[in-house]
Amino acid sequence: MHDTLRVSSNLNNNMGHTMIKKTLATLALAVTTSLTANVSQAFCWFNCNYTQTKYPVVLAPGVLGFDKLVGFVDYWYGIPNAMRDGGAKVYPTSASAFNSSEVHGEQLLSQVQNILAISGAQKVNLMGHSHGGFSVRYVADVIPTKVASLTMIHSPVKGVSGANIIMGIAPAGTVSGSIVASVGDAVSNFVTFLAGNSYKEDFMASMNSLTPQNAAVFNGKHAGGVPTTACGEGAYTANGIKNYSWSGTSSVTNILDPLDTFFGITGLVATSEANDGLVGQCSSHFGKVIRDNYPHNHGDAINQLFGVRGLFTPAPTDLYREHANRLKLAGL
């Protein structure tokens, strides 16, 4: 009888210990799952509103023009989410892979108007990478009362000398011109197809827009923020819009990044000044120059390829977060 009671007691104790262990294990799993699920919010526990701008941020791409390729390859790799983690509302946009500055501008204008309607915001903060810098400036002049700020990111405000080389070896109306135009348009249409878009493509119109001569014509029409000296800053505020820019001067930053081979080559012919593989240091100046010599190339500016960058170089995502905070502190 006593043995039976002892066995029963031991069983009860074992069951109790087992239940306690299971409960503790469940709690541990719950805590671990919660921490894992919220790992991206860990920073936000201490700085939840760091990037919370007054107005939404709209990102305009440069050449290639996609927001996502085949549904998952982001143009702005990891950048929108990095900004959203601190409270910013961020809207990536799309455009033709290659076309003129004005066509890109009209494409962005339509999307900005939709974003304003959907978000209910009174204004937007426009940020353009590369040729996308021309797009945001175009929009700002069409609807200036709807734009709070303009930011040029590695944008060739004064054009790219390399575009002259292409136009020189492939002038309109020649056999070489027809071949280059056909190949360029084929690549453009393929990229647009992979992005799930249906924009009209015109490779030669894009190259023509980016020549220093035609960039100067564009700047004459959209002068706000454009420097009046060779390598100075532009107006910090124009038409009630705050103007900013930043860029880099390293064409090769990591040999493991396939894009660096391309930018290493183009950096030798794109311009004679220090450059990011495509855009010259002084050509990138617009409004308040935050910095013009980051150790980044043209791809690093958008955290490509897939976040690979030079050792000990600033994370591109941090630059965007810092700028969102800058806009926030400016009341934008």
Question: Active-site residues: which are they?
Answer: 130, 276, 298
- Distance separating alpha carbons of residues 129 and 151, to the nearest angstrom: 9
97 neighbors 65 (Cβ within 8 angstroms): yes
- Distance separating alpha carbons of residues 157 and 251, to the nearest angstrom: 18
From 119, 126, 127, select the one nearest 143 (Cα to Cα): 126
Q: Which helix (H) or strand (E) holds 242?
A: strand 241-248
Cβ of 262: how many Cβ atoms within 10 Å? 17
Q: Rounded to the nearest 5 degrees, what angle is found at the Cα of 51, between the Cα atoms of 123 and 303?
A: 100
- Whose tokens are 């056909």? That residue is 182
Q: Is 209 helix (H, G, I), strand (E, B) or coil?
A: helix
